[in-house]
Amino acid sequence: MDTYIRSERDEVSKAQVFTYKQLQSATNNFSPLNKIGHGGFGLVYRGVLPDGRLAAVKLMDRQGKQGEREFRVEVDMLTRLHSPYLLDLIGYCADKDYRLLVYSYMANGSLQEHLHSKGKSTLDWGTRILVAFDAAKGLEYLHEYVIPPIIHRDFKSSNILLDEHNDVVLADFGLAKTGADKIAGQPSTRVLGTQGYLAPEYAMTGHLTTKSDVYSYGVVLLELITGRLPVDAKRPPGQNVLVNWALPRLTDREKLAQMVDPYLRSQYNMKELVQVAAIAAMCVQPEPDYRPLITDVVQSLIPLVRQRRMGTPKRSVSSPRCVSSLLKSPTTQSPALKANIKTLQ
Ligand SMILES: Nc1ncnc2c1ncn2[C@@H]1O[C@H](COP(=O)(O)OP(=O)(O)O)[C@@H](O)[C@H]1O
Ligand SMILES: [Mg+2]
């Protein structure tokens, strides 16, 4: 089935096609000085395109069918999907054996760098709330506004990118699979994705639903609250896996205050922390049915975001785009999520 976007922007835009030579000169011959990262797809370089635009150029290092398939899925998806909450694909190169993807360059890098890298520039509480909201909006778009829904499958802090205003977009749909891609009625598949973020049912059986993304989203919320890595072998036993360590603490106000990222010190709002922790606790429930829909998460975060977004028209919560999204939302906040937040306050 063709992916059809249920939004006001359902036109299919064309990705630019680049020659290998053009991208070679854009990245100063893939100079190590231009290298900005290395992920599952291959090396990532900063480059200046012939029209002067800054870009992130991903050079695929994997050969064979799997890599080729991912490449085609990525190009196909990204040229069809348009949302202020998703990373734009500018174009691609499929010159001879070379496979490259060209994206808009996100000047402030990934959330992972901000939270976990050595010379990290950490984020204040208000920015973390906005990051959580924008990331939820990105997933909401994939789950609720695309038909059939798209499951991201690799939702994690390194796929949450920030621009110069710290506005957030989601990246990497190379692993994405449409909800309609089913085997024997189930959207089941090989287990891909990243350790520490994988929903237990997906890790164990390969059974994949939008609720697997909601679990990964919960892990990112835990990273935002604690500043800890999802899996950290350097921590003492019992603290290596973030979800296992955090989950029993999330519903205890005292323990919750103790687990906050030390960088934040006391510069956060306790009431908001309790709310975000309650959402995280629901998202990482082992039983997928107990997890909220991402739309419920968006609804729960709106009151926290509204004040902070006043006067920023692009992503104002009350902008026409957001309002129409809310009206179109098929669900309202789940009673379970509401109740959970209430008991904690
Ligand atoms: N569009 C982009 N703008 C800026 N930095 C990017 C962009 N895309 C990727 N990066 C950086 O390159 C790194 C590697 O990206 P990627 O290949 O997607 O692997 P992963 O997401 O597993 O880290 C990211 O963690 C990020 O820091
Ligand atoms: Mg990535």
Q: How confident is the model at residue 121 (pLDDT cuts 50, 70, 90)?
A: low
Q: pLDDT-based confidence at 13, cuts 50/70/90?
A: low
Task: Tell me what the mean pLDDT of segment 233-241 comes to.
Answer: 94
More confident residue, 153 or 310: 153
**Atom 20, ligand 1: residue with shortest CA distance:** 39
**Each residue of 48-67: pLDDT tens digit?**
999 999 999 999 886 666 66
Closest ligand 1 atom to the C-alpha of 42?
Answer: 17
Per-residue model confidence (pLDDT) at position 176: 56
Q: Which residue has the tokens 């060209």?
A: 102
Within 10 angstroms of residue 116's Cβ, the number of other Cβ atoms is 18
CA 26 to centroid of ligand 2, rounded, Å: 21
At 35 the three-state DSSP class reads: strand
pLDDT, residue 317, reads: 61
The protein residue with its alpha carbon nearest to ligand 1, atom 16, reads 39
Cα gap 174→172, rounded to integer Å = 5
Share of the chain above pLDDT 90, in %: 61
Q: What's the pLDDT score for residue 175?
A: 60
Protein residue whose Cα sits closest to atom 7 of ligand 1 = 56
For the domain covering 7-104, report its CATH number: 3.30.200.20
pLDDT band at 172 (very low <50, low <70, confident <90, very high): confident
The yes or no reply on domain 111-344 and CATH 3.10.580.10 is no
Q: Of the ligands numbered here, which is closest to the C-alpha atom of 169?
A: 1
Token pair, residue 66, equals 């799997």
Ligand 1 atom with the shortest distance to the CA of 105:
3
Torsion of CA 317, 321, 326, 327, to 10 degrees: 140
Torsion of CA 214, 154, 46, 26, to 10 degrees: -120
Q: Which residues line ligand 1 (CB under 6 A)?
A: 36-41, 44, 56, 58, 87, 103, 105-106, 109-110, 112-113, 158-159, 161, 171-172
Going from the Cα of 42 to the center of ligand 1, the distance in angstroms, rounded, reads 10
Q: Is 58 annotated as a binding residue?
A: yes
- CA-based radius of gyration for the chain: 20
Q: Is 294 in contact with 338 (CB distance < 8 Å)?
A: no
The four Cα atoms 90, 298, 214, 170 give a dihedral, to 10 degrees, of 10
DSSP 205: H
Closest CA relative to residue 9, chosen from 86, 72, 76:
86
Instruction: Tell me the CA–centroid distance for residue 156 and ligand 2, in Å.
Output: 8
Q: If we measure between CA atoms, which residue out of 274, 286, 303 comes closest to residue 241?
A: 286
pLDDT, averaged across the chain:
83
- The pLDDT score that the predictor gives to residue 148 is 85
- The contacts of residue 66 (CB under 8 Å, 6+ apart) are none
Q: Give residue limits of the domains in the chain.
A: 7-104, 111-344
Catalytic residue among 88, 134, 154, 167: 154
Q: What is the pLDDT of residue 311?
A: 60
Q: What pLDDT shows up at residue 143?
A: 95
- The span from the CA of 89 to the CA of 80, in Å, is 10
Encode pLDDT of 302-344 as tens digits: 999 998 887 665 565 643 333 333 323 333 445 555 555 444 4
Residue 213 is among the residues annotated as catalytic for this protein? no
Give 344 Cα–ligand 1 centroid separation in angstroms: 36
Q: Do domains 7-104 and 111-344 have the same CATH topology?
A: no
As a whole number of angstroms, the distance between CA 73 and CA 178 comes to 10
Q: In angstroms, what is the span from residue 106 Cα to ligand 1's centroid?
A: 9
Question: How far, in Å, CA of 185 to CA of 150, rounded?
Answer: 16
Q: Between 341 and 282, name the one with better pLDDT.
A: 282
Residue with CA nearest ligand 1 atom 13? 37
Where residue 255 falls among pLDDT bands split at 50, 70, 90?
very high
* Residue 293 pLDDT greater than 90, yes or no: yes
Which are the contacts of 260, defined by CB distance < 8 A and separation ≥ 6? 225, 226, 268, 273
Question: Residue 266 — very low, low, confident or very high, per pLDDT cuts 50/70/90?
Answer: confident
Q: Is the preceding peptide bond at 148 cis, omega within 30 degrees of 0?
A: yes
pLDDT exceeds cutoff 80 at 177: no
Q: Which two tokens stand for residue 269?
A: 């709002």
Q: Is the pLDDT of residue 141 over 70?
A: yes
Looking at per-residue pLDDT, the higher value among 1 and 55 belongs to 55
Provide the 8-state DSSP code for 145. S
Atom of ligand 1 nearest to the CA of 87: 1
Q: Is the confidence at residue 9, as pLDDT, over 50?
A: no
Torsion angles phi and psi, residue 133, rounded to 5: -70, -50
Question: Quick one: which atom of ligand 1 is closest to the CA of 41?
Answer: 17
